[in-house]
Amino acid sequence: MKKTAVLILFCLISAFVLPVCVFYARGGSANDNEIAEKLRMSENISVFFHNENKTVSMPIEEYLCGVVCAEMPASFEYEALKAQAVAARSYARYKQNEINAQHPEASVCTDYTHCKAYKALEENEKSWGKDSEKYRAKIENAIIETQGEVITYNGEVALAVFHSQSGGGRTENSADVWGGNVPYLVSVESHGEEASPGFYSDVTVPFENFKNTIISLNPKASLTSSNDIGQIVKSEGGAVKTIQIGGQEFSGKEIRSAFGLRSSCFTISSEGDNIRFEVTGYGHGVGMSQYGANAMAKEGCDYREILKHYYSGIEIECV
């Protein structure tokens, strides 16, 4: 009789208590099937998986799970993750209205150097380790709680570009980085990023290599010593807009790309036979700074305040 009672108690615990514990450990507000169903309840987007060379049509909210995972650490503040979800959704929706020359059959690709990074939730779970369930729920809920929301400007979906860290205490004007004028991508203050990983970096290049690279960019450059490195014009965001080298003008973006710098926010100096770049920040500097968004969230700002700070004059709505 006593054995039967113990058995019944064990079955009750297994049937009711354990699933509840697992559920709350995941931090979710709905069960897994409900979450999966909600993520599937969206229009499809065509995604070119560049590593596998194939195009897949998938629900946009499912695609966003992979983008948010790849683009922002899941350990970030929840409101920063929600801001990231809305920015990534806006970017994807904007791209759906364009024909892309590099992958005409797909709206977006998974190559971060071209569109946005993508890493499936399942792949992330290996690196998340013991936090896997918690982080998965955090990402999924950030997407579900902002489901369908995009950033608009004058009623049109905005090209909500973003970057990791602003190097000069401000974001960049899109006009200074890519030319053209996008009214919602203008320079705004961005703070709280100096302590983030990789904010400060440096690259040292032997002078001869520096010279050869510069000449490969522009054969008219005449370069015999570091004295031939001249005036720098900075952008409003603090990046190098143009720099005179060997009598020729180069953009900060060209120099960043040629020497593999983490951003165009750099100083340049000579050290013996070497040229040294000291760099702050990471990325192109336009739109939302991800580490800046996290700093704002830590100060108590919600995702709407974060987005309205980084994208000037926008609305957040379902369209």
Residue of 115, 139, 143, 314 interacting with Zn ion (CB under 5 A): 115
**Span from 39-47, 67-75, 107-115, 295-303 in contact with Zn ion (CB under 5 A):** 107-115
**Span from 14-22, 85-93, 102-110, 258-266 in contact with Zn ion (CB under 5 A):** 102-110
Q: Are 166 and 87 contacting, i.e. CB atoms less than 8 angstroms apart?
A: no
Q: How far is the CB of 115 from Zn ion (least distance, A)?
A: 3
Q: Are 183 and 153 contacting, i.e. CB atoms less than 8 angstroms apart?
A: yes
Q: How far is the CB of 99 from Zn ion (least distance, A)?
A: 12
- The per-residue b/e assignment along 134-152, b for 16 or more CB within 10 angstroms, e otherwise, is bbbbbbbbbbbebbebbbb
Q: How far, in Å, CA of 187 to CA of 310, rounded? A: 8
Q: Which two tokens stand for residue 137?
A: 């729920």
Task: Select 118 or 282, whichever has its Cβ closest to Zn ion.
Answer: 118
- Binding residues for Zn ion, how many (CB under 5 A)? 3
Task: Select 107 or 235, whichever has its Cβ closest to Zn ion.
Answer: 107
Q: How far is the CB of 119 from Zn ion (least distance, A)?
A: 15
Distance of CA 8 to the CA centre of its chain: 52
Nearest to 290 by CA among 173, 193, 145: 193
Q: Are 243 and 232 contacting, i.e. CB atoms less than 8 angstroms apart?
A: yes
Task: Select 95 or 241, whichever has its Cβ closest to Zn ion.
Answer: 95
- Please enumerate, as own/partner, the contacts of 33-42 that have beta carbons within 8 Å and a separation of 24 or more: 35/140, 35/144, 38/144, 38/147, 39/65, 39/140, 39/143, 39/144, 42/147, 42/148
Window 266 to 295, contacts with Zn ion (CB under 5 A)? none
Task: Select 4 or 113, whichever has its Cβ closest to Zn ion.
Answer: 113
Residue of 80, 87, 92, 109 interacting with Zn ion (CB under 5 A): 109
Task: Select 109 or 142, whichever has its Cβ closest to Zn ion.
Answer: 109
Residue of 14, 114, 206, 247 interacting with Zn ion (CB under 5 A): 114
Q: How far, in Å, CA of 48 to CA of 76, rounded? A: 28
Task: Select 91 or 303, whichever has its Cβ closest to Zn ion.
Answer: 91
Q: How far is the CB of 50 from Zn ion (least distance, A)?
A: 8
Q: How far is the CB of 109 from Zn ion (least distance, A)?
A: 3
Q: Which two tokens stand for residue 10?
A: 């064990």
Task: Select 114 or 298, whichever has its Cβ closest to Zn ion.
Answer: 114
Contacts of 242 (CB under 8 A, 6+ apart): 232, 233, 249, 250, 251, 252
* Helix/strand/coil for 118: coil
Identity at 45, one-letter amino acid code = I
| Matching residue, tokens 């896997």 | 132
Q: How far is the CB of 48 from Zn ion (least distance, A)?
A: 7
Task: Select 3 or 105, whichever has its Cβ closest to Zn ion.
Answer: 105
**Span from 110-118, 173-181, 216-224, 251-259 in contact with Zn ion (CB under 5 A):** 110-118
**Span from 78-86, 106-114, 149-157, 198-206 in contact with Zn ion (CB under 5 A):** 106-114
**Span from 33-41, 109-117, 213-221, 304-312 in contact with Zn ion (CB under 5 A):** 109-117
* Binding positions for Zn ion, rule: CB under 5 A: 109, 114-115
